[in-house]
Amino acid sequence: MLDALEQLKNDALAEISSHSTEAELEGARVKFLGKKGQLAAASGGMRDVAKEDKPAVGAKLNEVRTAITEALDEKNTALTNAKDAAAFDGIDASLPSRPIPQGALHPLTQVQHNAISVLRRMGFSLAEGPEIETEWHCFDALNTPTDHPARNESDTFYFENGKLLRTHTSSVQVRTMETTPPPIRIIAPGSAFRRDEVDATHLPVFNQLEGLYVDEDVTLADLKGTLEFFFQEMFGDVEVRFRPHFFPFTEPSFEVDVKLEIKGQAAKWIEIAGCGMVDPAVFDSVGKTRDDKEYSPKKISGFAFGMGIDRLAMITYGIPDLRLLIENDVRFLGQFA
Ligand code: PHE
């Protein structure tokens, strides 16, 4: 019996070492260690072994099982290692990896973030409104008469249902006042749309930043101080001037210029924003949509301003053509990373 077991062990080990696939190895496991395998059959022979020989035969059975199990494990590991090595064949894992290009914020986003962070420091918080607007929010409530040229179909994109793509972010002024009582100090960055031909300084979709401040006793001095501080934070120690202008929704109204040198040229005045004191007619319109008298022009006053973020970016970075900002050419965008 002992000899037969030794023979079984040797046969098994020889067979296992000759195998080279996982399937063959599994076959050998079943053949030798399986329930109906050769070792199980040999154990059955214990019945006929003389009592005094049983311990020795039992020990031999264990030895054979352990030896076969170890051989199977070893061979399995060897096969797995060989497979891994084959998968790496021809690959030099010590080479440095290929660089993963890192993204960065678009220059427009960078300028917008800067502008927002300056205004937030002054206590303005962000407000939002829809890009598809009603005529009420974009024009009527903003004291813009029906025959105003901006309302023309040749200037504004209208939908068949009478709604339109907002031509400026000033509509957010109205929306905010309709839902929130004063005091109000908001900024609203966002897209605006006009039927403009595409050229170096015009796009039919552009970006604006609106500001609105409403409280008791807000004066023109507050407006001037706020915008002067803002532009000096954005452009350094620049001169800022206010030129009288007209907007339907502010009175008095101004255009704001800053004196800047662009790319080594002599400093010149550059128009950069529109602004003014909120026209009482706007407060009256808002008042009609509310069931309180919070926006009575007798009680409150305010200022508003609006500027093009694209223009701020062109000035900040000396970008000569607006179209560069929407072409997504990495050779251009990479310069701002
Ligand atoms: N909405 C004006 C424009 O688009 C800018 C503006 C905003 C002017 C607020 C005055 C007050 O040109």
> Residue-wise pLDDT tens for the chain (337 aa)?
888 888 888 988 888 988 888 888 889 889 988 899 888 888 888 888 888 988 888 888 899 899 999 989 999 998 999 888 888 888 888 899 899 988 899 999 999 999 999 999 999 999 999 999 999 999 999 999 999 999 998 899 999 999 999 999 999 999 999 999 999 999 999 999 999 999 999 999 999 999 999 999 999 999 999 999 999 999 999 999 999 999 999 999 999 999 998 777 788 999 999 999 999 999 999 999 999 999 999 999 999 999 999 999 999 898 999 999 999 999 999 999 8
Does some domain include residue 176?
Answer: yes
Please tell me whether residues 305 and 214 are part of one structural domain: yes
Please tell me whether residues 15 and 117 are part of one structural domain: no
Half-sphere exposure of 208 (CA within 13 A, CB side): 27
Please tell me whether residues 296 and 158 are part of one structural domain: yes
Please tell me whether residues 52 and 194 are part of one structural domain: no
Helix 171-179 to helix 280-289 angle, to the nearest 10 degrees? 50
**Atom 2 of ligand 1, residue of closest alpha carbon:** 306
User: Which residue from 249, 251, 253, 277 has its CB within 8 A of the most atoms of ligand 1, so it is best to mutate?
Assistant: 249
Please tell me whether residues 83 and 216 are part of one structural domain: no
pLDDT of residue 202: 93
Which of ligand 1's atoms lies nearest the C-alpha of 253? 10
| Distance (Å) from CA 42 to ligand 1 centroid | 98
Does some domain include residue 100?
Answer: no
Please tell me whether residues 235 and 321 are part of one structural domain: yes
Q: Find the domain containing 69 and state its range.
A: 2-87
pLDDT of residue 104: 92
Does some domain include residue 21?
Answer: yes
Please tell me whether residues 326 and 197 are part of one structural domain: yes
Please tell me whether residues 195 and 265 are part of one structural domain: yes
**Atom 12 of ligand 1, residue of closest alpha carbon:** 274
| Distance (Å) from CA 167 to ligand 1 centroid | 10
d(CA 319, CA 263): 10
Secondary structure letter of residue 93 according to DSSP: T
Please tell me whether residues 53 and 130 are part of one structural domain: no
Does some domain include residue 60?
Answer: yes
User: Reduced to 3 states, what is the DSSP secondary structure of residue 111?
Assistant: helix
Please tell me whether residues 140 and 231 are part of one structural domain: yes
Which of ligand 1's atoms lies nearest the C-alpha of 275? 10
pLDDT of residue 89: 87
pLDDT of residue 167: 97
Does some domain include residue 201?
Answer: yes
- Decide which of 54, 87, 120 is a domain's last residue: 87
Ligand 1 neighbour 303 (Cβ under 6 A):
no
- Token duo for residue 8: 């079984």
Does some domain include residue 99?
Answer: no
| Distance (Å) from CA 22 to ligand 1 centroid | 76
Please tell me whether residues 15 and 79 are part of one structural domain: yes
Secondary structure letter of residue 102 according to DSSP: P
| Distance (Å) from CA 142 to ligand 1 centroid | 10
CATH code, 143: 3.30.930.10
pLDDT of residue 217: 97
Indicate the helix (H) or strand (E) that contains 224: helix 220-235
d(CA 7, CA 14): 11
Does some domain include residue 8?
Answer: yes
The structural domain count of the chain equals 2
Q: Are strands 164-165 and 268-278 parallel, antiparallel or unpaired?
A: unpaired
Ligand 1 neighbour 170 (Cβ under 6 A):
yes
Closest-CA residue to 133 (of 122, 125, 144)? 144
pLDDT of residue 50: 87
d(CA 280, CA 51): 116
pLDDT of residue 107: 96
Please tell me whether residues 22 and 170 are part of one structural domain: no
pLDDT of residue 22: 87
**Atom 5 of ligand 1, residue of closest alpha carbon:** 306
Ligand 1 neighbour 139 (Cβ under 6 A):
no
Does some domain include residue 41?
Answer: yes
